[in-house]
Every structure is written in structure tokens, then in C-alpha cells.
Structure 1
Amino acid sequence: MCTFVIFNPQRKRSVVQRNNPIISSSVPRSLHLLYCYCNRALNDETNISMICEEGFFDDQYEILVHLEDIIPFYHLDPITANCIVIYMWHLYKKLKTYNNVHKIRFVNPHIIPYVACVTRLDKNSKFEQLNERASVLADKLSQASRNQLVLVPHNVGYHWILTVIDPYKETVYLLDSLSHRIRDEDWKYVVDMSIRLFNSNKAKKGKKHVTWEVVKGPRQPDAKQCGFYVMRYMRDIIEELATIERDSLRSIFIKPQYSREEIDEVRYEWAECIQDYIYD
């Protein structure tokens, strides 16, 4: 029996194409069962509520899971920010199990949304928007403890990347499953400015330039799986914290591409996390 399906009248819904839940041997069983359930139980006016404890995103946080989150995730299509937040919640609980919460801080991708570039005629407005985003990120960095890595999934316009920040060392690691270079200068500006603001908030004299390291991690096989790769990146970081502390973050990303089985591990865990909130 479902105990957490609620009505949410304020959310503006997009049209979601329902698909017949045909079994596929390539889909993790837990995800297929979740998909079948949601096709029957959810509609434009219902969702699954997942209450996350304080410490995940500072105050208590509620994730509202919609059909528009479930369907693309099932079909390996481009996924929503909600999908990534759900998996971050799963990873946070794993960190708690191993008493490693003090080593990782998550930043909610909803609070620093992508803003399309404005024209040169509106340059002042552009930098006002970028500085506002930098201020939000700086506030989250200020809550990090020394030697804690800050994981920031970010959408740079129809594409997810992972930015890993060590604010006290003023070092930024970029993982982009489409490219091994910095492609979004606006996002680089936001992160650089957030670290300058972090230093100001801490009354700390910073370096002249923030250190950026582009990590040559696994690359996605198509134009759709960037969100899944970001989730797998975060999983690998948390699974290999000891290696990162001994060597470097780059040392754990040596594969050219993730296997389907490795991506399906993420999909299985994601579905299991949601199912915990459906059944007694």
C-alpha cells in the first residue's frame, strides 16, 4: 500500500507521454517494478513525497517525485534535477552508514539553476545573474568544513556536469562526460567568484587564481546519459574516498566509458531509494 502519495496543486506540469510498461531484460528489476507502479498510481496531480533529514541540504528537505521524473529515468533519456537529488539522498545515507558525512557536502542543483546567456547589449544584467548564482554557491561553500569536498551537479544547458570543490584549497575538479575541457565560461566565472566570496566570508587571503583541474573521466556513449554519468561520478567518489585522500581525485577515473552494468547499478539503487517511501 502506498503511504506517501500526495497532491501538489502548485507545480506546473509538463505533458508526459505514458509508455506501456513492457518488461526489458536490460532494465534493473527494481526500476521496472517502480516504473509499472508509477504508470498506474501517479498522474499530473499526484507525486511521491520523500522527506530527507536535516544535514542533507541543511534544513529538512522534501523531494517530490513525479511521473515526469520516472519515465525518462527508466528509458535512459535526459533526466531531471529531481532524479539527481534522489540519488544524492541515497549517497548521503550511504555516507552516514560509514560515518563519512564529514567528508562530503552536497549542493542542491535546484538552487543554482542554469541561466541562458544574455546578449552583449545586456551585459550588466548577465553579470548580475552570474553574481547572484555565485553568492548562493559561496553560502554553501561557507558551510563546508576543512578537507570536505563539495559536490555540485550543475546543468549548463541541456547537459549535466559535476563540479567538485575543495574551497579551503581553492581547487576545483571538473567532470564533464562530453568533454575534457572547460566549455562553459559562465559557470567557471560563477565558481571562481563563489570561492572569492568564500574567502571574503572567512576573512581569508586567497590565491591569485583558483586552481582548475579537468578530470578525464568516463565519457557518455550518446547524447542522453550525462545525468547518469554525473550520478556514477558521485558514487565513485564516495566509494573511493580512501584512495582520493591517499592519491588524488583523478586517480579513480581511469576508464574511457562506464559499462551498462555500472550505469544499471545506479539505476537499481535509485529505484530502491524511492521504493522505501512507497511501501510500509
Structure 2
Amino acid sequence: MSAILVDSAFLSKEDSRRLECKYDLFGHDSYMYLNCDDFEAVFTFTELTGAVITSYLMFLYEQIKKEQIHDRGICFMNPSVILRADQRKPKPKPKPKPKHIEDASRAVADRLYKRKGNDIILLPYNPGNHWLLAVLNLKTTTCYYLDSLRLRSVDEQLRQIIDTAMAVYASESGANIRVKLVWINARCPRQPGGTECGYYVMKFMKEIAHEGVEILDNDNVSLGIF
């Protein structure tokens, strides 16, 4: 990821860099563009974009595949497909879309089908100008909720998205799992200002990838150096 940042630090305002996301990263072929604004956010330590969060998921995925991180059965959800409809960039000729919760729930259910035995799914989510993290553990049918603002309980739209996805997955796959999730508002460090949420979400994901989901049960999510 550092190489990408250094290489792209010289992008002009009009330039962008296309990154291909491997199929196994999100369970579908995809790509994204990083532009000057994305990198300015990183270098100025301001609010991060979805493209930067996705780049970090790519980085963690590559470390796991290269065995630089022990494989703990973790896979990732593409944050762009569960964004609220008004968070997505407008298209020249927009087509009618399903309601956000139905659309996003279908995407999460599809990811569960294609998880290839991985029982821990990291789902970065942006309900509107703020990043938070859901960690779905299929072994225990538990979903951990990490919000560095800690100003509220579990985001209701995110809860509906994941609960609905689990019901769809259980119904269509015939999986022998409990449909009703146990939601845990996990303890985690609190951000000092109003723009650091994306960095905290990346740090949470890094620690879970390195140490396992057990750190959420032990309240050991810390905030060291990336």
C-alpha cells in the first residue's frame, strides 16, 4: 500500500489510478479508481474515502495470501456495494435501484455464499460521512460492532442489512445455522476528532487479521502504529 501511495503522490487533479480487485478478495471481479483527492486525504490525515479503505483491504488480503499474516479464516466485504444509495457516485444515466437495505442485504448474502470456508467477514460500512466496522462470525452467529465515535448503539440500517442477509443465506442455502444474530457493541478506542474514523477502522481490521476475532471478546482492540 505504501508503494501505491508513493507512486500516486504525483497524480494531477485530473489523473486517476485504476486498481483491479482479485475475485477472491470480495467474491466477485471488481475494480476501482484512486484519484488525487484520495491521496490528499491520506497525506493530510483527514476523512478517508471508500477507495482508500478498499485499498487497505487489498493490502491485508495480499499479506494473508503471501503468508505474511497467518490465515485466520477472514474474508472481506466490498464496502462500495453496501453504501447507501445516496452515498454512491451518480451515473450519467441512473437506473432504478432496489431499496438500499434489500440491495445491500442481497450483496452480503452473495458474499456469504462465496466465502470459501472463511467464517469471519469484515464489513466496513459508511452510513453517511463516518466509517465503522461490523465483524460477522458465522461460527458463533455473532456480529461485533466497532464505532470509534461511540455516540450511539448499533446503526439500525447496518443491523437490518446483515440480519436480512443472514436470513436470506440460511433460507436459500439450507445451512444449519441460527438465523438470529447476537449483536455485540464491542469496546474499542475512541477517536479524538471528527475525521479519524477511517484510520480507526483500518486499525481494527489490521488487529483482527493479525490476532484473530478473539480479541473482540477480550476487549483487547488497541490503537498502536499502523
The one-letter amino acid paired with 1:131 is: E
2:48 is the alignment partner of 1:43: no
Say whether the 8 Å CA contact 2:149–2:190 is kept in structure 1.
Answer: yes
Indicate the SS of the match to 2:33: strand
In the alignment, the residues of structure 1 paired with residue 206 and residue 195 of structure 2 have an alpha-carbon distance, to the nearest angstrom, of 19
2:141 is the alignment partner of 1:174: no
Q: Which of 33, 42, 45 is equivalent to 1:64?
A: 33
Tell me what 1:140 maps to: 111
Tell me what 1:253 maps to: 220
In the alignment, the residues of structure 1 paired with residue 99 and residue 139 of structure 2 have an alpha-carbon distance, to the nearest angstrom, of 25
How far the C-alpha of 1:47 sits from its partner, in A, is 1.2
Indicate the SS of the match to 2:75: strand
Q: Which of 96, 113, 119 is equivalent to 2:83?
A: 113
Tell me what 2:102 maps to: 131
**Deviates most, 232-241 or 180-189:** 180-189
Q: Which of 37, 45, 66 is equivalent to 1:97?
A: 66
Tell me what 1:232 maps to: 203
The one-letter amino acid paired with 2:6 is: L
The one-letter amino acid paired with 1:71 is: E
Tell me what 1:122 maps to: none
In the alignment, the residues of structure 1 paired with residue 105 and residue 146 of structure 2 have an alpha-carbon distance, to the nearest angstrom, of 19
The one-letter amino acid paired with 2:59 is: H
Tell me what 2:92 maps to: none
Tell me what 2:170 maps to: 199
In the alignment, the residues of structure 1 paired with residue 175 and residue 151 of structure 2 have an alpha-carbon distance, to the nearest angstrom, of 31
In the alignment, the residues of structure 1 paired with residue 84 and residue 48 of structure 2 have an alpha-carbon distance, to the nearest angstrom, of 15
Tell me what 1:34 maps to: 6
Alignment of 1:157-172 (within 5 A): 157-172=128-143
Distance 1:137 1:154, change over 3 A: same
Distance 1:161 1:254, change over 3 A: closer
The one-letter amino acid paired with 2:218 is: S
Say whether the 8 Å CA contact 1:170–1:195 is kept in structure 2.
Answer: no
Say whether the 8 Å CA contact 2:170–2:179 is kept in structure 1.
Answer: no
How far the C-alpha of 1:198 sits from its partner, in A, is 1.1
TM-score, normalised to structure 2, is 0.82
Indicate the SS of the match to 1:135: helix
Structure 1: gaps of 5 or more residues: 1-29, 117-126, 266-280
Indicate the SS of the match to 2:22: strand
Indicate the SS of the match to 1:159: coil
Runs of 4+ in 1 over 6 A off after TM superposition: none
In the alignment, the residues of structure 2 paired with residue 205 and residue 180 of structure 1 have an alpha-carbon distance, to the nearest angstrom, of 36
Indicate the SS of the match to 2:178: coil
The one-letter amino acid paired with 1:69 is: D
In the alignment, the residues of structure 1 paired with residue 44 and residue 77 of structure 2 have an alpha-carbon distance, to the nearest angstrom, of 26
1:9-31 deviations in Å (ceiling 9; x for gaps): xxxxxxxxxxxxxxxxxxxxx69
In the alignment, the residues of structure 2 paired with residue 52 and residue 60 of structure 1 have an alpha-carbon distance, to the nearest angstrom, of 6
How far the C-alpha of 1:206 sits from its partner, in A, is 4.3
Q: Which of 29, 40, 50 is equivalent to 1:81?
A: 50
Structure 2: gaps of 5 or more residues: 87-97
- The root-mean-square deviation of aligned C-alpha atoms, in Å, is 2.6
Say whether the 8 Å CA contact 1:236–1:252 is kept in structure 2.
Answer: no
Provide the aligned length of Structure 1 versus Structure 2: 212
Identity %: 25
- Compare CA radii of gyration and give the structure with the larger one: 1
How far the C-alpha of 1:138 sits from its partner, in A, is 0.9
How far the C-alpha of 1:226 sits from its partner, in A, is 0.4
* Structure with larger RCO (C-alpha < 8 A, sep 6+): 1
Distance 1:48 1:172, change over 3 A: same
